[in-house]
Structure 1
Amino acid sequence: MKFWICTTCGTQYMASDEPLEICSICSEERQYILPSGQHWITLEELIASNKYENKWEEKEQGIFAITTTPSFALGQTAYLIQTPSGNILWDCIAYLDAKTIKQIRQLGGIKAIALSHPHYYSTQVEWADTFDCPIFIHQDDQKWVQRKSQRIQFWSGETLSLVEECTMVRLGGHFRGGSVLHLQSGDQGKGVLFTGDIVQVTPGEDWVSFMYSYPNMIPLPAGKVKKIAEMLKDIPFTRIYGAFNRKITHEANRVVQKSAMRYIAALDESLTESR
């Protein structure tokens, strides 16, 4: 019996002798099956290949970005966030080896794992078992969990306080339970937001965007984007750390608001008609 991992999205499934024919995460409209077909691997095979390692970057005091190189699956970034109440792992990556485990333990371990949405669940249960900690996922995304575990706690409502400094906020959009994480003490007390791609930092790192599906280029309705911007308007944050090690370093809340306005203008044609 093996815990198979989809090589396209990095999601790990319940143990079985043979992998499924298709990945449930990749086969719906927000993801994709590659033209070459469905492919699977295990964490043990990833480690044994001696091909991968996790790179660490301290973004600011107490915030570490963890990214697998060469890129595997979606290539997202996880963040280890140090707080006086314990460390939070925001989002997850599939690759977990002895070197990564040692480094995290040296930094104080993990008190809790918090997830933005199903594309980044990856090997979350492996991480939780290794560091003996709970996983927090919004209950609206419960059906997308492919590897069950008693460590997973499904929360409800619009906000969840993980520790005094960290609060999860459900924004929806990309997924119904799509969530972001607010670190009140980040950027010297001015506030930091970790967004996954619920709010996607663009390559120029001066705008953000909002999509139902990024690879398939399916937009969100204007009303939903307006609601997301309104929900974030009164939350203090000057920086955003996004899914692919991208960041907004100044006036991040203002960037979200102006980006939402531009997005809505594009959908109602007022942006393109003015060009």
Structure 2
Amino acid sequence: MISFICITCGTQFPPSSSPPAHCLICEDERQYIGVNGQEWTSREEMISSNKYKNKIIEEEPNIYSIVPEPSFGIGQRALLIQTPNGNILWDCVSYLDQQTIQYIKEKLGGLSAIAISHPHYYTAMIEWSQEFGNIPVYIHQLDKQSVMRPDKCIEFWNGDTLDLLNGELKLVCTGGHFKGFQVLYWPRRQILFSGDQPQICMDQKQVSFMYSYPNFIPLNARKINHIMKCLQPLDFDRLYASCKMSGIKGVIETKAKEIVEKSAKRYLKAISDDNDD
């Protein structure tokens, strides 16, 4: 029995004797099936190929990015956040080997929990949870139908916000890209971890919001306004995205909230019927 992984999006499926017939994540209009059709791999195959490794980078004190090399799936990265109340993995990646596990346990203090912004980053979350002691994986209830590999470690939650690690971090459900899309907020450090909503643009003084990034499907004004309403109470100066696109570091280092607010106004103007530019 193998837990097959979709090569295009990186999502892992439950153990089976043969690959699934479909990847429902890729067949959704927000994603796509690769040019070679539906292809599968597995954690075991990725490790035995000796092709991949996880590069662990200290972005700033207590924040580490975990980036598979070469890039896999849609280019996801995970962020490990160290707090006095334990460490959390924000978003997830498909590749996990013993070297990564050992480094996190021995050098970074292990993991206490996992939280994931939306289904495009669920990847191998169950494997990560199991390797670190069946730690909880926090996902919003509204995205339950997009979990391709159910497991008892997943803790679905309802509502608008959820405190994690004794209040050190906070999940905020904003909707938009997915109904249960959530961001992670670190009040003490004034940092917002946004997944890819908002996503940092090539001009890193701007961010944007999309229903589908690869298929260029925008969000409507109602959803943008709701996202901004959810973010308004959060006092953040820095913003980390979960994909490092070409030429983009993946972090807005200062004035992030101001940039997000200006970008939202620009976006709303662009999609307005009154925009004559």
Same fold (TM over 0.5): yes
The percent of aligned pairs where both chains have the same amino acid is 48
Matched, 1:129 2:130: yes
Q: Which residue of 2 aligns with 1:93?
A: 93
Letter in 2 for 1:125: I
Contact kept? 2:168, 2:187, Cα under 8 Å: yes
CA shift, 1:58, in A, is: 1.1
Pairing 1:1-275 to 2, within 5 Å after superposition? 1-106=1-106, 107-132=108-133, 133-163=135-165, 164-186=167-189, 191-245=190-244, 246-271=250-275, 273-274=276-277
**TM-score, normalising length from structure 2?**
0.95
Unaligned runs of 5+ in 2: 245-249
Indicate conservation of the 8 Å contact 2:173/2:230, yes or no: no
Output the CA distance in 2 between the equivalents of 1:167 and 1:146.
Answer: 25
Q: Which digits, 9 at most, give the CA deviation of each residue in 1:191-235, with x for residues without a partner?
A: 000011121111232211111111111100012112211221221
The CA deviation at 1:12 is 0.3
Secondary structure in 1 matching 2:177? coil
CA RMSD of aligned residues (A): 1.0
Deviation at 1:60, TM superposition (A): 1.2
Aligned partners of 1:172 and 1:198 also within 8 Å: no
For the Cα contact (< 8 Å) 2:142–2:179, is it kept in 1?
Answer: yes
Residue 104 of structure 1 deviates from its aligned partner by 0.7
CA offsets 1:62-121 (integer angstroms, 9 cap, x no match): 000111111011111100000000000000000001111011102111100001000000
- Give 1:206's aligned amino acid: K
* Partner Cα separation in structure 2 for residue 269 and residue 64 of structure 1: 43
- Where structure 1 has 5 or more consecutive residues not aligned to the other structure, the ranges are none
Distance 1:30 1:200 in 2: 15
Inter-partner Cα distance in structure 1 for 2:6 and 2:102? 26
| Aligned amino acid, residue 121 of structure 1 | Y
Q: Secondary structure at the match of 2:194?
A: strand
Structure 1 segments of 4+ aligned residues over 2 angstroms from their partners: none
